[in-house]
Structure 1
């Protein structure tokens, strides 16, 4: 079951929205991957890592959305959260790690791109280069998974989450974002029974 919260963070002009055609190609890929109609193979993983390695140095200044309203809103209204480790998937240059650390006692930042993680030095104390499809963690180890503009790997997220764990699924550009999945689709893709809370912010 999904509940919807009223918008409290206004929408702003000037969002760096990608071209409609490009975004739709990525959204189709993201949906098919989430529901198991598309496989995540080594070739795709290497391609994605290479793309982000190449853009890491200029990410913060030219490619990042600069928007943290969705993350702030999720942390303020998405709880209460269980106490424990938060796994930040697709952490990139660590732009949102500090916000997550304000809520969780420990944040482990995980990214496929080595160069993005190098840019996160000073922001993310604990950084791990890993593929979100095969996380180097034991079962039921984390209290929360934060996936900000990230592909959804349902089985792996459920595997590492504690029984009372929470998934923060955040699309900074909402429906215009290239990896957008609504909360209902995310909940349906995750193994087991899930309750979802959805909100728009910024």
Structure 2
């Protein structure tokens, strides 16, 4: 079940829409991976890590403005937010980590790219290089998972999230983003029964997903 809330924050001009062909190829990969139609391989992980290692030095200059509206709106209007450890997946250079740190008592920032994590020094106190398909965390050990422009690994997400926890799913550029998955697709991919609340904010969209069975 998915509930849609009305937009509060308008979409400003100047949205940096990626090339449609490239973005759709990545979206297809993200959909197939989430649905289990495509495997996640060591080669794919190495390729992604290498790509983001190369982008790390210029990441803040090209991604630092205009993209935090969905996260801020979700935390403000998404309903009750559980308090406890927050796992930030795809944390990158930590552009969004201060927002999460202000909302949660502990934030663990995880990324596949070592260069990205190195550039997050000073923004995140707990940085871990790890593959999100095999997280070095115990079962049911985090209250919130914040996945910002991330690939979805359904089984591992459900494993580390507490039974009453929350998945915070953010697409910075909404349906134009290269890894966009709507809330209904995320719900369908996750094991068990989940309820979602979603909305749009700024250039992007967000969804809050809670396990109900």
Determine if the TM-score, normalized by the shorter chain, exceeds 0.5.
yes
| 1:116 positional shift | 0.1
Structure 2 segments unaligned to the other structure (5+ residues): 203-213
Please show how residues 1-202 of structure 1 align to structure 2 within 5 Å.
1-64=1-64, 66-202=66-202
Superposition TM-score, scaled by structure 2 size: 0.93
Counterpart CA distance in 2 for 1:144 and 1:78 is 13
Structure 1 Cα separation of the partners of residues 4 and 94 of structure 2: 28
Shift of 1:79: 3.0
Residues in 1 aligned to 2:48 and 2:66: alpha-carbon distance in whole angstroms:
21
Runs of 4+ in 1 over 3 A off after TM superposition: 63-66
C-alpha distance in 2 between matches for 1:46 and 1:29 = 16
Question: Structure 2: how far apart are the matches of 1:31 and 1:183?
Answer: 12
Q: Give the whole-Å Cα distance in 1 for the aligned partners of 2:189 and 2:142.
A: 20
TM-score by length of 1: 0.98
Count residues in correspondence: 202
The answer to whether the Cα contact below 8 Å between 1:65 and 1:172 also exists between their aligned partners in 2 is: no
The 3 A distance-change label for structure 1 pair 64 and 23 is farther
Q: Secondary structure at the match of 2:194?
A: coil
Equivalent position SS for 1:195:
strand
CA distance in 2, matches of 1:25, 1:61: 25
- Cα distance in 2 between the residues matched to 1:67 and 1:138: 31
Q: State the Cα RMSD in Å.
A: 0.9
Judge which range, 47-56 or 78-87, deviates more.
78-87
Question: Shift of the alpha carbon at 1:66?
Answer: 3.7
> Post-superposition shift, 1:64?
4.9
Question: Does the C-alpha gap of structure 1 residues 90 and 49 become closer, same or farther in structure 2, counting only changes over 3 Å?
Answer: same
Distance (whole Å) between structure 2 residues aligned to residue 62 and residue 7 of structure 1: 26
